[in-house]
Amino acid sequence: MDTMINATGFPAKEYDNEVTGKGVIPAEVTITVKDKEVAQGLLELFRLGVERSNDMKKIEAYARGYNELSKAIKEAWGTGNGTRI
């Protein structure tokens, strides 16, 4: 049986090379969802973030997450979940 959701974390990495110099590749988490209802549940969390936050940067981030995930759900399963935020 496939898992319905899988998450993988990648820590930040520092680099230093002759061409680009020093820098940091930021940490990230990648989530793979294999169930439409689980994906729509994550979509709801983004919507709630937009509604409940008072920080404009966070609102913009949640709205972008909502729009990107909504688009991905439509591409994967052929249906979206409402309108764009």
Does 20 have pLDDT greater than 90? Answer: no
pLDDT (average), residues 3-28: 91
List the beta bridge partners of residue 22. Answer: 16
- Looking at residue 81, its pLDDT comes to 55
- Give the per-residue SS3 of 12-35: CEEEEECCCEEEEECCEEEEEECC
Instruction: Write down how long the chain is.
Output: 85
pLDDT (average), residues 6-16: 94
Token pair in block for residue 21 = 């110099």
Does 24 have pLDDT greater than 90? Answer: yes
pTM equals 0.73
Q: Tell me which H or E stretch contains 73.
A: helix 56-77
pLDDT tens, position by position, 26-85: 999 999 999 999 999 999 999 999 999 999 999 999 999 999 999 999 999 886 555 555
Token pair in block for residue 49 = 């973030």
